[in-house]
Amino acid sequence: MIKKIISIFIIIASIVSCSSSDDAGSGSGNSVDGFNRQSMLTNWADNIIIPVFQDLNTQLADLVTSKNSFIAAPNQTNLEAFRASWLKAYKVWQYAEMFNIGEAEAINYYSKMNIYPTSVPEIESNIASGTYNLSHPNNQDAVGFPALDYLLYGVANNDMDILSIYTTNVNAENYKNYLSDLVNEMKTLTNSVLNNWTTIYRGQFVSSTANTATSSTNKLTNDFIFYYEKGLRANKIGIPAGVFSTNPLPKKVEAYYKSDVSKELTLVALDAVQDFFNGKAYNSNETDASFKQYLQYLNSVRNGEDLDVLINNQINLARSKVVDLNPNFTEQITTNNAEMTNAYNELQKVVVLIKVDMVQSMNISVDYVDADGD
Amino acid sequence: MKNIFVAATLTALFLTSCSSDDVNTSTPDNTGVTAPETYIFKRGGESSVSFGGQTTRILMAEEFVSALKDNTKSETDLNAMFTHVEGESDFTDTDLNASGKNIRSKVAASKDYFSANITVSNEIKADFDAWIAEQANIVFPNWTTTATSGVAGQLQQFNGGSTRYINAKGLELNQAVAKGLIGGLMADQMLNNYLSITVLDEGSNKANNTNDIVEDGKTYTSMEHKWDEAYGYLYGTELDPSFPVLGADSFLNTYLKQVDADSDFSGTANAVFEAFKLGRAAIVAKNYVVRDAQAQIIRENISKVIAVRAVHYLQSGKTKIAEGDMAAAFHQLSEGFGFIYSLQFTRKPNTNAPYFSHNDVQAYVAELMTGNGFWDVSNETLDTISEEIADRFNFSVAQAAN
């Protein structure tokens, strides 16, 4: 009898759920489909998101330290140490960029950390004038990791000339100040995002279990897909490969001035996406409630195959294409862009699986559309 | 145990109630959806139909293919028209110059076929680029040269007919481009993009349409608009697009008319128009099963238009070769070449595939262009290709040839 009632309820619920996308959840940890969203939110917050921001905050503290050493003594040794801290932090950033929620969303964190290509004229004009507001939206392409990429690798043609920018150049003080302000700003922003998570936001996040457009699962699912589609697929590969333009734009790669780490950063980002999908803890190999488990719980299949398996397989296939690319994407695009677009093709196939099949299974609405019509 | 039961029930329900691949068994008669007489749809007394972007691109394509026959144009001029940038004076029509749209960005660019197939999309775009370059750099400088096998130039048709300007293989590159665009731009965007479930139902389109949520400041829902954009690629240059008379452009609209004029294929144009109207009415009625069934009808018929014209021109070319009128033959074969190229953008109903794949088409192109191309193409080659195309579309070569 109870089973009958449940199944009738489910029948009604799922009929409703097919036509409407904003129905409220049950209010307990369980959403209308019975999956315990709270356990997934808890895993995301405690084992992935907060540890990622903790690590990023630590890396940025190191970056501040090596920046301070460099400014105190701009020599080759300190330059190299500074660059090493930059790359290490940039890799951890690849794990953080997708979590554009809570404080990160409120302060537009991502736009202040990783907008590229960075604008050399804006950076140089800020430095020349010595007055700037780094958190102003106009400066989003003059700050963050890409601005550092320019200042540490691209500001002059070789290391000796780069060092002279910070020593003998007439504007050396302004250059050093900008470098310092830039790094301090990144640290401050990251600190505030982390703090918000550990003090207020974590509780709100895990208790928002309903299925509305503003519920935690719905929002972060959208953030995850948006990040994958835009931050990873388009920004790292598609845009420089010319997928959205008449010609390839090889200067639009991530870390253009360092030049030989674009692939490495992309591979880290792919790991971050896959780990999040599988609910893998940031600091260990433990896995817990996740998209993967959710899809398994719903027994989601596509053409007779388990959707969670298809998604992992497709990410793996995409990774194998990226692995084959030149570490320097600019070179790859200039010499053989077809390999770049082949990698893009496999990355794109993941979009369909997560943006259509996955969200339909979980009855989550995608809250954005490609602006690509006429 | 309960969870498993619930999950299984849910899954079964989702599979049946949410599947987007439902095979439609309904006919328009028993669906409760009625198509209006004309393609007029309104919301709050105002028209909810809009496809300005499609009209713009067709008009750009018109000027562009005309320019391909103007030997004063440079490769740069032609490319500028093909890849127009907003504000540049590439066209005589100032409205087109002001537009931010261009032709090339929508060639081989449908969501279903090319969103995860960029490498092939780029190869196709590069084919168009190469035809344009060869026209400007080889054919234009030889505008007054008499064409011979292996030499680009001009040839006049018998009885004081038109002069044809061809490359060294007898191919009119302007025809390759123009007829290639019928598939690569119009059919691909219609059949594989705007009529695609992926596009029609993208994001919240379905929920918004069901709840009558229109686009910001517009009179239409996104889904209605997508459907209209498909409509626009076929009827966008009609004087009264709500009631098409056909023959309005140099592209798909005109060739639908020509195929319909062949008694073996009469009714094709009406089938397409009726399906467009009924599909749009179904969107208004929120009946997505009927909508998707109409998309299949449009796909089948528009694909057939391309195939019929491909076979028709190969056969006419064969006849003209027999008559010894090589200029006329090359013109026919060049149109055929463009339609064969367009076959890769056709859409088999209820599949995600064209009737002829990119590789199939590449093989035909290679076969036709081998050696000195049309100068020495054999009747066997023309007949074999004709029969293969006709077979796959279930018509006969004879039906298409007349």
> In which band, very low, low, confident or very high, does the pLDDT at A26 lie, cut at 50, 70 and 90?
very low
φ, ψ at B237 (rounded to 5°): -110, 10
pTM above 0.80, yes or no: yes
Q: Would you state the pLDDT for residue B204?
A: 87
Please check the confidence at residue A61 and state whether its pLDDT lies above 90: yes
- Which residue of chain B comes nearest to A6, CA vs CA? B6
Residue A247 pLDDT greater than 50, yes or no: yes
Are the Cβ atoms of B119 and A345 closer than 8 angstroms? yes
Strands A305-306 and B42-43: unpaired
Task: Give the model's pLDDT for residue B283.
Answer: 98
Task: Give the list of residues 6+ apart from residue B69 with CB closer than 8 angstroms, or none.
Answer: B165, B174
**Averaged pLDDT for residues A146-172:** 97
Beta-carbon separation of A345 and B117 below 8 A: yes
Residues of A in contact with B56 (CB under 8 A): 374
A31 or B42, which is more confident? B42
What is the tens place of the pLDDT at every residue in A225-243?
999 999 999 999 999 999 9
Specify the length of chain B in residues.
Answer: 402
The answer on pLDDT for A24 being more than 50 is: no
Alpha-carbon distances of A63 from A83, A110, A191, A193, rounded to whole Å:
9, 18, 13, 17
Which tens digit of pLDDT belongs to each residue from B47-56?
999 999 999 9
Q: How far apart are CA A146 and CA A128, in angstroms?
A: 19
pLDDT of the residue at A28? 47
Average pLDDT of the residues in B68-87: 97
| For residues B113-132, average pLDDT | 97
Read off the pLDDT of residues B142-156 as tens digits, 9 standing for 90 and up: 999 999 999 999 999
CB B150 within 8 A of CB B163: no
Q: How confident is the model at residue A370 (pLDDT cuts 50, 70, 90)?
A: low
Inter-chain contact B118–A348, Cβ cutoff 8 Å? Answer: yes
The one-letter code for the residue type at B17 is S
A6–B116: do the CB atoms touch at under 8 Å?
Answer: no
**Which pLDDT value is given to residue A365?**
87
- Beta-carbon contacts of residue B327 (< 8 Å; ≥ 6 apart): B155, B156, B157, B158, B161, B162, B163, B164
Chain B CB contacts of A352 under 8 Å are 116, 198
Comparing A5-14, B146-155, B221-230, B324-333, which segment has the lowest mean pLDDT?
A: A5-14
From A245, which residue of chain B is nearest by alpha-carbon distance? B105
Q: Is the CB of B10 inside 8 Å of chain A's CB atoms?
A: yes
Report H helices in chain A: 2-19, 37-43, 50-72, 76-96, 103-106, 109-113, 120-129, 144-149, 159-165, 172-196, 202-207, 216-226, 262-278, 291-297, 307-323, 329-335, 337-352, 359-362
Q: What CATH architecture is A210-374? A: Up-down Bundle (1.20)
Give how far A349 is from chain B: nearest CA, Å: 6
pLDDT at B90 over 70: yes
Pairing of strands B46-47, B42-43: antiparallel
Give the pLDDT score at A374: 61
Q: Per-residue pLDDT tens for A161-187?
A: 999 999 999 999 999 999 999 999 999
Q: What is the mean pLDDT of residues A278-306?
A: 96
Task: Indicate whether A17 pLDDT > 50.
Answer: no
Interchain pair A368, B203: CB under 8 A: yes
In the CATH scheme, what architecture does the domain A35-209 have? Up-down Bundle (1.20)
Residue A273 in this model has a pLDDT that exceeds 60 = yes
Is the pLDDT at A320 greater than 90, yes or no? yes
Whether the CB of B394 is below 8 Å from some CB of chain A: the reply is no
Sorted by where each begins, the domain ranges of chain B are 43-401
pLDDT (mean) for B293-311: 98
Looking at residue A18, its pLDDT comes to 38
Residue A8 has what pLDDT? Answer: 41
The domain locations on chain A are 35-209, 210-374
Distance between CA atoms of residues B69 and B77, nearest Å:
12
- Contacts of B51-54 with CB under 8 Å at 24 or more apart are B51/A374, B51/B228, B51/B229, B51/B231, B51/B232, B51/B233, B51/B236, B51/B241, B52/A374, B52/B232, B53/A373, B53/A374, B53/B101, B53/B229, B53/B232, B54/A374, B54/B189, B54/B229, B54/B231, B54/B232, B54/B233, B54/B236
User: What confidence tens digit (pLDDT) does each residue in B18-35 have?
Assistant: 333 333 433 445 578 999
Quick one: tokens of B137? 């750099």
Query: What confidence score (pLDDT) does residue A366 get?
Result: 87
Chain B residues close to A369, C-beta within 8 Å: 202-205, 222
DSSP reduced 3-state for A212: coil
DSSP A285: S
Helix (H) or strand (E) holding B166: strand B163-166
pLDDT at B32: 85
Say what the pLDDT of residue A169 is.
97
Using the Cβ of B257 and the Cβ atoms of chain A, whether some distance falls under 8 Å is answered with no
Cross-strand bridge partners of residue B166: B153
Rounded CA-CA distance A128/A121 in Å is 10
Task: Tell me what the mean pLDDT of segment A40-54 comes to.
Answer: 98
B16: pLDDT strictly greater than 50: no
List the single best residue of B6, B84, B197 to mutate versus A (max A Cβ within 10 A).
Answer: B6
- Does the fold of domain A210-374 match that of domain A35-209? yes
Say if residue B343's pLDDT is above 80. Answer: yes
pLDDT at A31: 58
